Amino acid sequence: MLVRGIRGATTIKTDTVEEVLQATRELLEQICNDNDLKTEDIASALFTVTADIRSAFPAAAARSMGWDKVPLLCFQEIEVHNALPRCIRVLVHVNTEKSQEEIRHVYMKDAQSLRTDLQR
């Protein structure tokens, strides 16, 4: 079995606990659905948020979904001039037999503009 990375990102309109957690849950659910993942397939997940998100840790949404045994870390994204604001990004490491070409990366809301080359 291989370890593969699955990228994803989404955005929020306002920095509230509810919006951060809801947007993160939607993103993680879509990643799991698109890649036929079960919680036990997930090796770890790394989250970043832009500096304008301070109300909640995205990892809290993952834990609320049953990812309580999955190693999770949150970081602040580097500040780049004109970067997409209010953005939550994730890199999910999964144990899988899928090839790189079979992995489905997920970009939602305004984050769809980040990696149009990975959209399907």
**Which domains does the chain show, CATH number per domain?**
2-114 (3.30.1330.40)
Six token digits for residue 111:
């984050």
0.75 exceeded by pTM: yes
Active-site positions read: 7, 63, 74, 77, 89, 107, 115
d(C-alpha 64, C-alpha 54), whole Å: 19
Q: What is the pLDDT of residues 81-115, one digit of tens each?
A: 999 999 999 999 999 999 999 999 999 999 998 98
Q: What is the pLDDT of residues 55-81, one digit of tens each?
A: 999 999 999 999 999 999 999 999 999
Quick check: 6 and 35 in contact, CB under 8 A? yes
